Amino acid sequence: MINLTPLSASASSSSSSEPLCYLLELDEARILLDLGQRDFRASAIRGDWSYEEKVRELAPTISLVLLSHSPTTYLSLYPYARARWGLTCPVYATQPTVEMGRVVCLAEVLSWRSEHAIEDSSAASSGGMNGESESELRTNGKGKEPLRGPFIPTVEEIHEAFDSINATRYNQPLHLGGELSHLLLTPFPSGHTLGGTLFKLRSPTSGTVLYAVGINHTSERHLDGMVGGQGGASGYSEGVTRPDLLIIEGGRADIVNAKRRDRESAFLDLITSTLQSNHSVLIPSDPSPRLMETLVLLDQHWSFKLQPLPGQSRPPNQLWPYPLCVVSRTAQDMLAFARSLIEWMGGVLRDSGGEDVLEGGRKGRRRGKKTNGAMGSDYGVLDFRHIQFYSSPTELMHAHPLMRPKVVLAIPPTLSHGPSRWLFTAMAGTEGNVVLLTSRGEENTLARDIYNIWAAGQDATALWGRGRVGHLQDLIGNMQLEMDTKVPLSGAELEAHLEAEREQKEKEAAHQAALARSRRMLEADDLDTDSESGSDDDEFGGTEGMLITRPTEAETEDKMQMSFDIFVKGQQMRVGRGNQAGEMTRFRMFPHLEKKGRKVDAFGEGIDVGSWIRRGKEIEEEGETQEVRDAKKRKIEEEEKKKEPPEPPSKFVNEIVTVSLHASVFFVDMDGLHDGQAIKTIIGDLQPRKIILVRSSKETTFDLIKSLGSTKATKDIFAPSTGEQVVVGEQVASFSVMLGDSISSTLGSKWSRYEDYEVAVIDGNIIFATGSTVPTLEASFVPVPPVVKEVKVETDTITNEPAAATDGDGEMATVKLEPEPAPEEAADMEAIQTSSKASLPLLTVPSSIFVGDLRLAILKSRLGSLAPPIPAEFAGEGVLICGPGVLQGDAAKAGSIVAVRKLSEGNIVLEGGIGRTYDDVKKELYRGFAQVVAA
């Protein structure tokens, strides 16, 4: 039984900006497929937390989480759910998804926290971001706290969450453990992002499930396409074909992508012309997943521009003096991770070392060898020698003033916060500057608003998804933007803050001093022995067994400040009128603080633990070499350098800024995703038995189902809405049986492979062994012992009546002795038994069985891949003509054509003259099935 419930991004009411999250119930396992989150500002504007409420409710019951890609819409809610909502189950993803996902979450969280005040303590308990009180957040009647986002984890929670992910590798089956031990998980490459994954789950009772979202069928500069080059009959790995259930997104079914060459040429030509006109380009970009592709393209373009042409004598920095900058706190970490994951990247980037470079607008022209990477470089095109990294817009402005021409890639791509939003307000007011969008952005974000301005100025044929690249569009008018900034305090505010800090420190110091005094008063065991030995010693004036200590000034001061209620010797004071003699003497009274000493050892000396610890450190240091000491010293120095200086006192300011728009906007789709024609072809090649469409609009879903219905694809297509459960398959009852020695010894030569399974025919008998709950299957020639329950009967010799009977288990049983039947009755009973046996059909096992389904298109592809290939053409419905005679027409020789006819389900006819062609076609036909031999 397979159940799928879209928690978000369904097939009837979804958009490309919604986060992906699906609940898959496979057998008894509850699996979350991805766990994304919306943009922080967009989610706050939307104000609907029903998706997050559902995730919080399900989190403690989830058995497994699979993360397929690293953008925020796929995994950014995972760290918060693990830290705050009890999501403690195993999580699986590829190593690049783990590392790049960590970078994405850190970049988003650090950027948002640098502009907004977030109380982590209150957020941990209530899920809110503004620190509302518990009573304000509770609902009436139920006592359950409602969620109020956005949901911002801490940096420590992000690291802990991603450290706990189990990393997987492509094409390596993984047997899950615990309650998931019956499931087999296999990841496959999907393209689109570094480490992007198609997850295949196989259950012995429910079949195979293939989760395929974020697909890119074409190769890019740093990535291969979906399951590319795996040798499958349809161009894909045979491990992903013919799944019982395919979960795939259909939102781009009506999209026609422009050619990659056209998109890259338009991208680079616009950058070149803008820089040469002494203006700047702002490219909002994501922190990691698609940033790598853009950096490779731009760095190669800069290398080409810095290469002097024949006859030029000017230095390279004068040929192309424009800086290429990235503004992100995590960009350098991303680059370090990427350099360690080169084996996960595309073959062109990994093997070429910068050879294969297409420069903007110059079709067919290729770069020389090894001009991008430095001589002897270990990273090739990932050296990025022309890219400058900055952690904030302020550092960028200090290095390159605002009016200097430059290209700036800034995060995030939505322009909702962080460096990209600040740089947009600074650069959009200058005429000639260009805001270059590489994605449409999420709904309710600034990037989507700018994209809508660009789309409004395009022709109908140049809109996104129509197969063409549009043109530049001017931004006109004013735009009101909400800006959140962190401003250092100054003047009276700074003085008031410092005064408040001083008062707080004084209160804290007084509180700590009070605690220290209370601790000293209660630590009686450190100054005296037990009460009995202490009283004896005081009586005789001795100090044996005592450790005499001298009171400190603080202790003396504490005594003088105490008030006493009982007589204390030596604590007297004189009171009266003046200082005359004979005035009355009064004594301070209770409480009496008795200073007790610490017990000593048998030799009269106390044990100083600190001296032993110091001695141990000295021994360790004496055994260290000079190299070890130098290494420790360097490590300490590096840690001191990494420590960030304390931030000056600051405040968070929210204000409305009016931006006068004079720049231009241009959009080029660089998301690296499939289009409509590709998704239809992919579904046809994968040949799923059942399909569930997700992440699509209602109209697009209807058109895709209609298109698939006109082909030979499956008719079982489901399109659930958000929260709707789809039940696929039926409840299957499974039974466990052990294979006996007589069966196991004969199975070695009977196994036949079909897809991911090995099949064999077994003829045997079920034997129930005594004391075992699992039956054993033995070969048919092994005799089956009768199941007999021993009964001991004791007969009374006088009355000939049966006495109490005892069965083999020692329990009492009642036995009734029946008289033997007469000869006539015995004959009648024998005749009845004979007739009943004759009416039962005898089950026979065929000598061989073919398991599988014939696909003539796959057979044609296999015949074409032989050496030499065998031509094949369709000659009608269910008929494939094969052989060299197909190309010869009427001049075909006898025996050069073989016809394969698919008459009905399970009936195939192979016609033709006996010969080499017949044998080759028959062999390939048999290869498509699992031939199981019974005998």
CA pair distance 663, 96, nearest whole angstrom: 37
Q: CB–CB of 146/132 below 8 Å?
A: no
Q: How far apart are the first and last CA of the chain?
A: 34
Residues of the chain with CATH 3.60.15.10: 2-117+149-256+675-728
Sheet holding 21-26, edge to edge: 166-168, 91-94, 64-66, 29-33, 21-26, 2-8, 726-728
Our measurement of the distance from residue 20's CA atom to the centroid of its chain's CA atoms, rounded to an integer in Å, reads: 11
Q: CB–CB of 396/280 below 8 Å?
A: no
Give the model's pLDDT for residue 353. Answer: 47
Closest CA to 396 of 382, 384, 406, 385: 406
Our measurement of the distance from residue 473's CA atom to the centroid of its chain's CA atoms, rounded to an integer in Å, reads: 38
Q: CB–CB of 700/251 below 8 Å?
A: yes
Strands (E), 190-233: 197-203, 207-212
What is the fold, at CATH topology level, of the domain defined by 2-117+149-256+675-728? Answer: Metallo-beta-lactamase; Chain A (3.60.15)
Strand partners, 486: 652
Q: How is residue 507 written in tokens?
A: 């209160």
Our measurement of the distance from residue 428's CA atom to the centroid of its chain's CA atoms, rounded to an integer in Å, reads: 36
Give the model's pLDDT for residue 890. Answer: 59
- Which of the residues in the chain have pLDDT under 50? 121-143, 229-233, 353-376, 524-550, 554, 556-565, 567-568, 571, 575, 577-579, 789-820, 825-826, 829, 831-840
CA pair distance 16, 445, nearest whole angstrom: 13
Residues of the chain with CATH 3.40.50.10890: 260-306+321-349+381-488+658-667
Q: Which CATH architecture has domain 260-306+321-349+381-488+658-667?
A: 3-Layer(aba) Sandwich (3.40)
Distances (CA, A) of 145 to 43, 56, 125, 137, 371: 19, 11, 9, 6, 60
